[in-house]
Structure 1
Amino acid sequence: MKKEFVVIGLGRFGGSIVRELIELDADVMAIDISSERVDEYAQIATQAVVADTTDESALKSLGIRNFGHVVVAIGDNIQASILTTLMLKEIGVEKITVKAQNDYHEKVLRKIGADQVVHPERDMGIRIANNMVSNNILDYLELSDEHSIAEIKASDKLAGATLIELNIRARYGVNIVAIKRGKQILVSPKAIEKIQREDVLIVIGSDADIHKFEKKALH
Structure 2
Amino acid sequence: MNLSSLSFLRKMRSPTRQFAVIGLGRFGRAVCTTLNSLGYEVLAADEDERRVSQALTDQIAAHAVQLDTTQPTALKESGITEFDTVIVAIGNYVEESIITTLNLKEAGVKNVVAKASSEIHGKLLDRVGADHVVFPEHEMGCELARSLTTPGILDRFEIDPDHSIAEIIVPPAFDQKTIIDLDLRNRYELTLLAVSQDQQPDKFEINPSPVTRLKAGGLMVVIGSNKGLERLPV
- Tell me the TM-score normalised to structure 1 length: 0.88
Counterpart for residue 42 of structure 2: 28
Comparing 99-108 with 56-65, greater Cα deviation is found at: 99-108
Q: CA deviation at 1:109?
A: 1.7
Task: After TM superposition, give the deviation of residue 80 of structure 1 in Å.
Answer: 1.0
CA distance in 1, matches of 2:140, 2:157: 9
Partner of 2:218: 199
> Is the aligned partner of 1:138 residue 2:154?
yes
Q: For the structure 1 residues 99 and 173, does the alpha-carbon distance in structure 2 shift closer, same or farther, using more than 3 Å as the test?
A: same
Query: Which of 145, 163, 174 is the equivalent residue of 2:190?
Result: 174
Q: Is the 8 A contact 2:21 2:42 kept in 1?
A: yes
Distance across 1 between alignment mates of 2:123 and 2:193: 31
Q: Which amino acid aligns with 1:137?
A: I
Cα 1:90–1:186 shift into 2, 3 Å: farther
Deviates more, 1:151-160 or 1:124-133: 151-160
Structure 1 residues 80 and 206: alpha-carbon distance in aligned structure 2, compared to 1, 3 A threshold: farther
Give the Cα–Cα distance (whole angstroms) in 2 for the partners of residues 189 and 72 of structure 1.
Answer: 42
Alpha-carbon distance change, 120 to 142 in structure 1, aligned in 2, over 3 angstroms: farther
Structure number with the bigger relative contact order (C-alpha 8 A, sep ≥ 6) is 2
Could you tell me which residue of structure 2 aligns to residue 186 of structure 1?
A: 205
1:102 and 1:203, CA in 2 relative to 1: closer, same or farther beyond 3 A?
Answer: farther
Aligned length: 215
Matched residue, 1:98: 114
Structure 1 unpaired stretches of 5+: none
TM-score by length of structure 2 reads 0.83
Comparing 49-58 with 169-178, greater Cα deviation is found at: 169-178
2:107 is the counterpart of 1:88 = no
Deviation at 1:193, TM superposition (A): 3.6
2:56 pairs, out of 19, 36, 42, with 42
Structure 1 189/81 Cα, relative in aligned 2: closer, same or farther at 3 Å? farther
Larger mean Cα displacement after TM superposition, 25-34 or 140-149: 140-149
Match of 1:152 in 2: 168
Cα pair 1:2 1:25 within 8 Å, conserved:
no
Within a 5 Å distance, the mapping from 1:101-112 to structure 2 comes to 101-112=117-128
Bigger mean CA deviation after superposition, 172-181 or 152-161? 172-181
- In the alignment, is the contact (CA less than 8 A) between 2:114 and 2:134 conserved in 1? yes
Q: Give the AA of the match of 2:140.
A: M
CA deviations 1:28-82 (Å, max 9, x no partner) are 1100011110010123111110111111111111122221110111131011111
RMSD: 2.0
